[in-house]
Every structure is written in C-alpha cells, then in structure tokens.
Structure 1
Amino acid sequence: MAPINPCAVIEEFLDSHSLDFEQKDKNTFLVTLPGEKKLETHCALIVGDHSLSVNAFVIRKPDENQDSVHEWCLSKNAGMYGVAFAINDVGDIFLVGRLPLTAVTEREIDRLLGAILQYSDSAFNPLLELGFGSAIRREWAWRVSRGESLANLQAFEHLI
C-alpha cells in the first residue's frame, strides 16, 4: 500500500468542493469557509512531519467580559469534534485541532472543516454579545442617529 500524500488529499478535497483557498507553501493551505452568521471563517491547514494542524480564526480579543467569553468557550470544548477553542498570545480566539497524518482522508477533512464551520458560525453571535456588547450598542445608536441601515445588526436588537 502506497503512503498517503496528505497535501494531495487536501488539495483534491478543496478543489472538488470549490472552496476558496491558496497554498502558501507546499505544506500550508489557507482556506476561506463561507458561513451565515460569520460570513467567512479563515482557516489554515498545516501539514507537519507527523500531523496536520488546523487553526481557524473566530473573533479578535474581546473588548469586555473576557472571563465570561473564555468560560463560554471552555464550556463548549468537551462536546466538540476534532477542534477546541483556544486563544493566542494577544487574546484572539481560534478553533484549533490536530490529526495524525494517517487520518488525513477526504472524508476526515470534510468532517473537520464542517465542524470548524459549524462551531465558528454558531459561536459568532454569542461571542460578539458577550465580548462586544457595548460596541454593538454604540454602533446601533450611531447608525440610528444617521439613518444608516441596521440590517447586519438585527441579530443583536435584543441588546438595545
């Protein structure tokens, strides 16, 4: 049996699913996943010597209620498939995961990217409410005072 070429598997999967991506180098794929609440989730798939790591940006460092935001993320981690919420050195929130290279198949990439998309999209509004509630209220008031559209803030009307 020939060894799996994880980079080829990933590239074939991304091409066959018409996902927007660029290959930064021979082992790094930068993928844009389309969402609904979070319009785009940017994800890096990095093939290492022994594993595939995945890192997907969710939101920047919260302006407020950081403890509540982190508690919310941690409470979700135990029930998630393949990835978990994590923070980087500046406090931005990511979904991160790792697979052994022997597990890199099109089916597993589909499962992993689907999980990232689901978790990122479903977490987006709750994390914004917890971490940026004051900014949302200021933005709402500013738009109302100028007669601007509130279309992309409707999900947060209950905060006003």
Structure 2
Amino acid sequence: MVEAFVCRQPDEAHEEVYRHLLRRNARLYGVHYTIDSNGDIYLVGRIGLHAVTADELDRILGQVLEAADGDFNTLLEIGFATAIRREWDWRTSRGESLANLRPFQQLIERDRPMSG
C-alpha cells in the first residue's frame, strides 16, 4: 500500500477542491486522491505483490511525487485563498519576505482593481 499526505482539509471552496481531485484521479496511475475522516487530502494506492518490481515502484512513487507536487499549489489556491490573501497582506504590511508566497501572486493581483 502507498499512502502520502498531500494537504490538510481546505478552509473553503470544498466542492471546487473535490471536483479538482476527482478530475485529477482520472489521469493518475496506480494511486488516487482520497480524504480521511478529518477531510485531509491523501494520495493512496495498492499494488499487488506480484507487481512489485523496481520499475513499477519507481513509476508509482514518481506518480505520487508528480501528483502531490504538481497539484499542491492549485489545491492551496482553491482551498486556502482567503488565508493566502491574509498572509500576503500581513507580510506586506510588515515588510516581511513574500518569497514562498510568490506562486500565488496572480491570486493577489486578481483582487486588485486595475489602474488606468
């Protein structure tokens, strides 16, 4: 069995997050997204003992890495948008680094009125 924690339960937009996960499940190999009783998001999969080879393990673990890493920022942007905006504003007001929030800059810019 393969199990990898991806992110905690979203704060908001649950339906949109789950829709994204269900659509993503259709394109995954050997694993799928699920939630636990707390609503936290995991990737899980089962592999039969007869199929356990170095190549197959590499493929499955590669899929876990690609999915979790590739979907992480999208899940955060959908399910934690308000918290990201609050954190951005807090850091900006104090002159703190925004380095690890840069992937979400388009979320912040989308909220700003266009000047012209």
How high is the TM-score relative to the length of structure 1?
Answer: 0.67
Unpaired runs of 5+ residues, structure 1, are: 1-52
- For the aligned residue pairs, the C-alpha RMSD in angstroms reads 0.5
Aligned: 1:122 with 2:70: yes
- Measured against aligned partners, the alpha-carbon deviations of 1:108-130 in whole angstroms (never above 9, x if no partner) come to 11101000000001100110000
> What SS is found at the alignment partner of 2:96?
coil
Partner of 2:23: 75
From the two aligned structures, give the one with the greater strand fraction.
1
Counterpart check, 1:142 vs 2:90? yes
Query: 1: distance between equivalents of 2:92 and 2:43?
Result: 34
Q: Give, in whole Å, the separation in 1 of the partners of 2:26 and 2:107.
A: 29
* Matched letter for residue 65 of structure 1: A
User: What is the distance in 1 between the residues matched to 2:98 and 2:33?
Assistant: 30
1:137 shift after superposition: 0.2
How far the C-alpha of 1:159 sits from its partner, in A, is 1.1
* Residues paired across the two proteins, number: 108
Which of 84, 87, 90 is equivalent to 2:32? 84
Q: Which has the higher contact order (CA 8 A, sep 6+)?
A: 2
Shift of 1:89: 0.6
Q: Please name the residue that 1:113 is paired with.
A: 61
| 1:159 and 2:107 correspond | yes
Segments of 4+ moved more than 3 angstroms? none
Residue in structure 2 matched with residue 44 of structure 1 by the alignment: none
Give the whole-Å Cα distance in 1 for the aligned partners of 2:93 and 2:26: 43
Q: What CA distance in whole angstroms lies between the structure 2 residues aligned with 1:100 and 1:125?
A: 31
Give the superposition deviation at 1:79: 1.3
